[in-house]
Amino acid sequence: MAPVETLGVDSPVSETGQLISTVLTFGLAAAAIVWVILLWRRERIVWPFFVLVGGTLTCLMEPAFDHLYGLWFNEAGQWHLYETFGSAQPIWVPPAYTAFYGGATILVVRTLARFPSMTTVWKMWGGLVVMALAAEISYVSILDVYEYQDSQPFVVAGYPVFLATTNAMSGIVGGIVIYRLVPYLRGIQRLALLTIVPMAFAADLFGTGIVYLSVRHGFEDPNMVLVHLAALTVSGGILATIVLMGRILVAGQPVRDPSLPAEPLPGEALAAARAATAAATPSAASAPDAASSTTDAGERDAPLVGAGR
């Protein structure tokens, strides 16, 4: 089977930009790792490690995104790590995912635990959108380490800004799911957390993005009005997903310890409540005995009442 090829117009990568990108991303990744270690030592929790690793593994989907959305990492002079889908990945991509898709998702989870409301959801999403805008525009227009090629919609400083909403969705949707799951996971079940952020990433870019991608890749030279309209379905689908998940899974939840200690499963809690209610209520079998005892006592007392008159 022949590997997928991506056709891009290559140019030399900026040496200074590549150095800054590498130092910056590895530094942010190191800070995220240190933070997770401190959480483990202070709160004795391990779930952030799984989220951090899952966020890092999400980088394996970056080449598919590059191929479908038209991102091209400049190859000439690149500090190369690997290549799939015809996209050459520089060494600084995995640590960037560790920091953003791993570390930022952990921050979302812990913030939702303390402030479970739609206001918090929108604030966190907005913050991630701003972070994505700042990072992507810097990489494209200032550091000159990659670019978006072909005809792109809503371009500002070389960056299709509607994609900032997609970058933010993975951390928000993944964070909401993890926030609700962690208290119910035990032992080896926590391995499931490795897949949450990658699944959110795929649902975001290849799920809500399916109409846009179909238009983008369905024609040799698609009409740009149609491309812009299709791009709006990406952000629209993302917003609808966040509203749905936020209202169902976040709004109205009780305030929790951000470490998210273990809680009984909803079914277990219901069974325990029923057992407690049954223990506190007299059984049906004992009710006739109690009524019979009361009747006998009344019959014995009746003559005494008559004698008194």
Q: CB atoms < 10 A from the CB of 207, how many? A: 16
Q: Are residues 220 and 93 in the same domain?
A: yes
Contact 183, 43 (CB under 8 A): no
Question: What does DSSP assign to residue 12?
Answer: B
pLDDT of res. 4: 60
Q: Are residues 227 and 274 in the same domain?
A: no
Q: Are residues 283 and 145 in the same domain?
A: no
pTM, two decimals, is: 0.85
Which residue's entry shows tokens 């699944």? 199
Residue ranges, the chain, pLDDT below 50? 290, 297-309
Angle of helix 118-137 versus helix 104-114 axis, rounded to 10: 160
Contact 146, 72 (CB under 8 A): yes
Domain membership of residue 292 as a residue range: 267-308
pLDDT of res. 283: 56
Number of folded domains that form the chain: 2
In a domain? residue 8: no
- Which phi and psi angles does 284 have, rounded to 5°? -65, -30
Closest to 195 measured CA to CA, from 14, 43, 55, 15: 55
Q: Are residues 206 and 109 in the same domain?
A: yes
pLDDT of res. 303: 46
In a domain? residue 232: yes
Q: Are residues 105 and 225 in the same domain?
A: yes
pLDDT of res. 292: 53
In a domain? residue 4: no
Q: Are residues 71 and 194 in the same domain?
A: yes
Spacing of C-alpha 254 from chain mean position: 20
Closest to 165 measured CA to CA, from 223, 104, 209, 229: 209
Q: Are residues 283 and 210 in the same domain?
A: no
Report, in angstroms and rounded to the nearest whole number, the Rg of the chain calculated over CA atoms.
Answer: 29
Q: Are residues 188 and 279 in the same domain?
A: no
The β-bridge partners of 82 are 89
